[in-house]
């Protein structure tokens, strides 16, 4: 059995550094990753094309500068971008395509696949590797998630992912969702894990055992919340499980240790707040926003996250974090 291993250090990993990677730093990581034999390198602001904003946080450079920097040094590996309809546009995607991006992952909330139709169709018509990305998949039961995935398939997606954006799943949850997608779709199935409950690698292994043929990681686990499945660890675990990835494990280790680790402002760990992200089922990219709001209003970040989970707040509702923090401060 074989799977396509995708590295998202240069997109999801942007959350870990407050989107501060420079094009030169991205290029250095890509140089180290390119010989490792991965299927895709994903590059963009943490919230995808167009994400650099007051709402989501400004990046050190533009998405197009990042794409150009990585395309210039990626000789073996296809460069992908992420696009969230409503944040990114087809015009932005066309520019990224012109600068050399060969793949796109079109991401929606797990109940809103219908808003991806024009973006997926356009990318497929342009010959891009076209992937559907159903975020916050823990919020939808497997059968309903599969119906949303079928919509993405009908628009032209070649792969559809179940995305554990909150790191809220445990292995059975990952397995059931991948099985539902596998049984419903004729295209390939992918899985993207976050590590807020410490289950990212285990969930990814369960997803592969259930039929996922695309899985994501990031070097050193870099990513929103407690991060993603660490690419180097995931590659080793898949090899031990008898799954072929085509990845050079030592090259991944060296890229993680020698190139990425020195760029990190702090280690990617499961701390109190990120653990609560998974426990409460809150979007992983809310972590830094919540920590800043908690400090500003003098409240406990964990209490904010539990309340956000109770309200089932999703990506795009970052303003609610401030609202909840202010309410908690007034009530105390």
Residue 48: per-residue pLDDT: 97
Average pLDDT in the 119-135 region?
A: 98
The most distant pair of C-alpha atoms in the chain lies apart, rounded to whole Å, by 56
Name the pLDDT band for 58 (thresholds 50, 70, 90). Answer: very high
Residue 205: per-residue pLDDT: 98
Average pLDDT in the 303-327 region?
A: 85
For 250-287, write each residue's pLDDT tens digit: 999 999 999 999 999 888 899 988 898 999 898 888 88
For 192-201, write each residue's pLDDT tens digit: 999 999 999 9
pLDDT surpasses 90 at 29: yes
CA distances from 177 to 223, 270, 289 (A): 22, 24, 29
Residue 57: per-residue pLDDT: 87
Name the pLDDT band for 291 (thresholds 50, 70, 90). Answer: confident
Cα gap 214→315, rounded to integer Å: 23
Asked if the 285-331 domain carries CATH number 1.10.8.60, the reply is: yes
Report the percentage of the chain scoring pLDDT > 90. Answer: 79
- Put simply, whether the predicted model's pTM sits higher than 0.85 gets the answer yes
For 147-168, write each residue's pLDDT tens digit: 999 999 999 999 999 999 999 9
For 202-241, write each residue's pLDDT tens digit: 999 999 999 999 999 999 999 999 999 999 999 999 999 9
**Which three-class secondary structure string do you get for the chain?**
CECEEEEEEECHHHHHHCCCCCHHHHHHHHHHHHHHCCCEEEECCCCCCCCCECCCECCCCCHHHHHHHHHCCCCCCEEEEEECECCECHHHHHHHHHCCCCEEEEEEECCCHHHHHHHHHHHHHCCCEEEEEEECHHHCCHHHHHHHHHHHHHHCCCEEEEECCCCCCCHHHHHHHHHHHHHHCCCEEEEECECCCCCHHHHHHHHHHCCCCEEEEEHHHCCCCCCECEHHHHHHHHHHCCCECCCCHHHHHHHHHHHHHHHCCCCCCCCHHHHHHHHHCCCCCHHHHHHHHHHHHCCCHHHHHHHHHHCCCCCCCCHHHHHHHHHHHHHC
Cα gap 222→227, rounded to integer Å: 5
Residue 237: per-residue pLDDT: 98
The residue extents of the domains of the chain are 4-263, 285-331
Residue 321: per-residue pLDDT: 87
Quick check: 287 and 17 in contact, CB under 8 A?
no
pLDDT surpasses 80 at 126: yes
Residue 316: per-residue pLDDT: 75
Residue 163: per-residue pLDDT: 98
**Which residues are known catalytic residues?**
15
Average pLDDT in the 24-53 region?
A: 97
> For all residues of the chain together, what is the average pLDDT?
95
> CATH assignment of 4-263?
3.20.20.70
């Amino acid at each position: 059995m074989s799977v396509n291993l995708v590295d998202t250090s240069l997109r999801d990993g942007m959350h870990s550094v407050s989107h501060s990677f420079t094009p030169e730093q991205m290029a250095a990581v890509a140089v180290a990753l390119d010989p490792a034999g991965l299927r895709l390198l994903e590059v963009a602001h943490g919230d995808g094309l167009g994400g650099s904003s007051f709402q989501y946080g400004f990046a050190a450079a533009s998405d197009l500068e990042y794409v150009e920097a990585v395309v210039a040094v990626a000789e073996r590996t296809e460069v992908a971008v992420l696009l969230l309809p409503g944040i990114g546009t087809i015009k932005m995607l066309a520019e990224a395509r012109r600068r050399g991006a060969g793949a796109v992952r079109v991401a929606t909330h797990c109940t809103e696949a219908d808003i991806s139709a024009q973006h997926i169709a356009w990318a497929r018509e342009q010959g891009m590797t076209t992937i559907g990305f159903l975020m916050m998949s823990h919020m939808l039961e497997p059968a309903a998630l599969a119906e949303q995935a079928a919509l993405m398939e009908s628009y032209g997606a070649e792969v559809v992912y179940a995305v554990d954006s909150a790191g809220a799943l445990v292995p059975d949850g990952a397995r059931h969702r991948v099985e539902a997608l596998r049984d419903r779709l004729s295209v390939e199935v992918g899985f993207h894990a976050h590590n807020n409950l410490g289950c990212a690698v285990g969930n990814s292994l369960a997803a592969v055992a259930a039929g996922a043929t695309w899985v994501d990681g990031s070097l050193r686990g870099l990513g929103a919340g407690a991060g993603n499945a660490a690419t180097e660890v995931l590659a080793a675990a898949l090899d031990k499980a008898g799954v072929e990835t085509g990845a050079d494990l030592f090259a991944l280790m060296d890229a993680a240790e020698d190139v990425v680790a020195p760029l990190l402002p702090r280690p990617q760990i499961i701390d109190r707040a990120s653990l609560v992200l998974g426990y409460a089922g809150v979007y992983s990219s809310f972590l830094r926003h919540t920590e800043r709001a908690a400090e500003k209003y003098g409240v406990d970040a964990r209490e904010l996250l539990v309340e956000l989970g109770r309200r089932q707040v999703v990506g795009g509702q970052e303003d609610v974090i401030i609202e909840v923090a202010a309410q908690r401060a007034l009530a105390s």
